[in-house]
Amino acid sequence: MSDDTQNDPPKGATSRRALMLGAVSATAIVSIRPALAQTAASVVTCEIPVPDPGRAGNYIAADGSLVPPGTQGAFAPAGRPFKGQDVKVALGGGGQLPGTSYEQNRAYTNYIRRLQSGTSGFTCFASLQMPRG
């Protein structure tokens, strides 16, 4: 007997291994798809307050920065948080945030683009940036 025949897997073992890998892959796909669907649903329902509650007394300037109330050209805080889906559409250029004028929409979307980690609404905004497959 040569050394080459001792290293060869028994007949049928390769086929069984391929079937087992296929079963594992199918299980992974089945378990990942619901998670992606749940993520997509949460993007639609998440909310972004403008501004976040910690800065609620400030107005929003045209560039999205926060300024003291009464600042010339600045806008009062939004009356309610915006839904993730509405923000996604507005940021994509396909519409305006609900209940806003053109100028307010620009100021509010500029504010949203400037959100940083630790700010209320940041997680929602970050999830809007994630590519969907």
Encode burial over 81-116: b for 16+ CB neighbours within 10 A, e otherwise: bbbbebbbebbeeeebbeebeeebbbbbbebbeebe
pLDDT band at 105, cuts 50/70/90? very high
Total domains in the fold of the chain:
1
pLDDT the model gives residue 120: 87
C-alpha to C-alpha distance for 120 and 53, rounded to whole angstroms: 7
DSSP 94: S
Q: Please indicate whether residue 29 or residue 60 has the higher confidence score (pLDDT).
A: 60
Look at residue 83 and give its three-state secondary structure.
strand
For residue 7, give its domain range.
3-129
pLDDT band at 128, cuts 50/70/90? confident
- Both tokens of 25, joined, read 């892959």
